[in-house]
A and B are shown apart, each in its own frame.
Chain A
Amino acid sequence: MSDEEIVQQYLSTQKEVYFDLLYNKYSNKVYAKCISLLKNEVDASDAVQEIFIKIVLTLARFSGRSKLSTWIYAISYNYCIDQVRKKKKNRLVYDEKIEDRDVIDDVDDSVIKETNVKRLKEVLDELNIMDKSILLMKYQDNMSIQDISESFNKSESAVKMQIKRAKEKYIKIYSEKYSD
């Protein structure tokens, strides 16, 4: 049964069995993302609960333009970013005015994608939540620029700029930590 069929069946019958299918398929990944972003298992468990309730309550609004997984992950990232924001009570790079112009991204993807996993985790943990989320969306979830821009309600060029900056920060932190 495809994701779209599960959604249709759930919306028309409201049977829990269809919710269970979605939960069993995506809860592990959502939980892993929440742990990665919130850095705390208790907060991550609460986040999974809130995220899936939100998914169920807004499932009727899922238009099918993007994949269901993309839509679920977008809700997850936005929820975690909001949580971190509430805790820190400060404004993140997320809200920075980003110039809407053509972006030349000169950092090769393979430099980041082929990092040793342990080092990757350590460097990602030093980035702010927005930079970390945007790199995970692009390289872990293989979301398109259009999907990311829709998730954050930003223009595509603003997202490209954000990715470029996040990659530059990643390279900088990596170089400082592992300059051997």
Chain B
Amino acid sequence: MERRNSFEELEAETIRRYGSPPGEISNNIRRNIRVFHLFGDLIDLFFPKVLRMFASMASGSSDQHNSKDHRTQNHSKPPNISNENL
């Protein structure tokens, strides 16, 4: 025979008496979770870019600078127009 456990009876009685938490609590939790997810997504989106920016600032060069160099190089090279291509 299973022995009595007053602690479990007390818990059951408390649940019977007070029931569920107020309905707005679950809505508040869902709203908070959505906000946290939004923050998480924003961090996922922008954090690597910010990190790259700081890294390039620390190393004294930037992607922008590099890409400008690359562009300049391309522009400095005249298009290959020769009689053979014409």
Contact = CB atoms under 8 A, between A and B. Distances in A.
A28 B3 contact: no
Q: Is the interface of B mostly helix, strand, loop or mixed?
A: helix
A23 B29 CA distance: 10
Residue in A32, A49, A114, A135 whose Cβ sees the most chain B Cβ within 10 Å = A32
Interface in A1-60: 14, 16, 19-20, 23, 27-33, 35-36, 41, 44-45, 48-49, 52-53, 56-57
Contacts of A56: 29, 33, 36
Interface of A is mostly: helix
B51 interface: no
Interface in B1-54: 3-11, 13-15, 18-22, 25-26, 28-30, 32-33, 36-37
A152 interface: no
Interface residue tally on B, bucketed by range: 20 to 34
A80 B52 CA distance: 42
Given A53-B33, A113-B3, A32 B26 contact: no
Contacts of A120: 6-7, 10
Interface string B47-67: 000000000000000000000
Nearest to A139: B7
A120 B6 CA distance: 7
Contact of A29 (B11, B26, B28): B11
B25 A53 contact: no
Contacts of A135: 7
Nearest to A135: B7
A33 B8 CA distance: 12
Contacts of A27: 20-21, 25-26
Contacts of A113: 3-7
B20 A36 contact: no
B14 A36 contact: yes
A135 B11 CA distance: 13
A41 B18 contact: yes
Contacts of B5: 113-114, 139-140
Nearest to B24: A45
Interface of A: 14, 16, 19-20, 23, 27-33, 35-36, 41, 44-45, 48-49, 52-53, 56-57, 110, 112-117, 120-121, 124, 135-136, 139-140
Interface of B: 3-11, 13-15, 18-22, 25-26, 28-30, 32-33, 36-37
Per CB-CB distance, the 3 closest pairs between chain A and chain B, nearest first, are A140-B7, A139-B7, A32-B14
